[in-house]
A = this chain, B = another copy of it.
Amino acid sequence: MQVTIDVTRHTDASCASRDLAVRCTNCNLRELCLPQGMAQDEVQKINGLVTTRRRVKKGESLQHAGEPFKSLYAVRSGSFKTCIATEDGRDQVTGFKMSGEIIGLDGIGTNSHIIDVIALEDSEVCAIPFSRLEEVSREIAGLQKQFHRIMSREIVGEQGVMVLLGSMRAEERVATFLVNLSRRFRARGYSATEFHLRMTREEIGSYLGLKLETVSRVMSRFHDVGLIKINQKHVLILNPEGLQEAASPSTAGH
């Protein structure tokens, strides 16, 4: 087959992968990603870890449940949803991944993925071959430590979702979700009060254990009482404290 178009973009990507841009040292995400908290000289040693970049178009999948596990992925740009499909046909969103976050930890235990990961927009990831990561982290204590931190935080984060799903009412869930997104956008240098939802109401609902109609209704209610301004996927948080309060009611004061 002949490649006739898009040569520029293609070159961009290959350029990136043989050039300096692929190095963690120069990556503007290094404080959010794998190198976070590592010493300067340690980061240099892990430059070689990331061998390839991968582009994933909106709607395409980065990894499929059942595939053999080879690499972790660090989100370089864009965002993803992680889904789990149960034997009985249920399909649930278990998380949303933004830049700097690590994908694929589910595969380590059984050497095959159990989670589907799908791009919510055109995205790019850095592939981290896991066997290399294990090797290098045996040599660099800082990497080992950081990798353990990442896994532990994943565990803690999921416990937070369990609390959300197990004991929060619909309004609290949606408020918690928005507050969480807000924090993550801010951590990435974006506005904490104004952003664009990359996922549909249905995906939000699936993640929060609610139906899409309920998500929509709750957001409309927040809109009506002046907590937020929402128009389709565009969110403007008018009252961050109020939203935080809606997320965990009895948090005394604010």
Contacts and interface: CB of A to CB of B under 8 A. Distances in A.
User: How many copies of the polypeptide does the oligomer hold?
Assistant: 2
Nearest to A139: B138
Contact of A167 (B87, B106, B166, B209): B209
A57 to B, nearest CB: 25
Contact of A162 (B92, B107, B248): B92
Interface stretch (A18-26, A145-153, A185-193): A145-153
A174 to B, nearest CB: 14
A28 interface: no
A251 interface: yes
Nearest to A85: B163
B162 A161 contact: yes
A195 B134 CA distance: 40
Given A92-B162, A166-B165, A149 B249 contact: no
Contact of A152 (B84, B109, B165, B209): B109
Contacts of A166: 92, 165, 206-209
Given A108-B149, A155-B158, 13 more contacts: A84-B160, A87-B248, A92-B167, A106-B152, A106-B159, A109-B150, A109-B156, A110-B156, A115-B159, A134-B144, A137-B138, A155-B155, A162-B162
Interface of A: 84, 86-90, 92, 94, 105-110, 114-115, 134, 137-139, 141, 144-145, 148-156, 158-163, 165-167, 206-209, 248-251
26 contacts: A84-B163, A86-B248, A87-B248, A87-B251, A89-B250, A90-B163, A90-B167, A92-B162, A94-B162, A105-B155, A106-B159, A108-B149, A108-B152, A109-B149, A114-B156, A134-B141, A134-B148, A137-B138, A138-B138, A138-B139, A151-B152, A151-B155, A158-B158, A158-B162, A161-B162, A167-B206
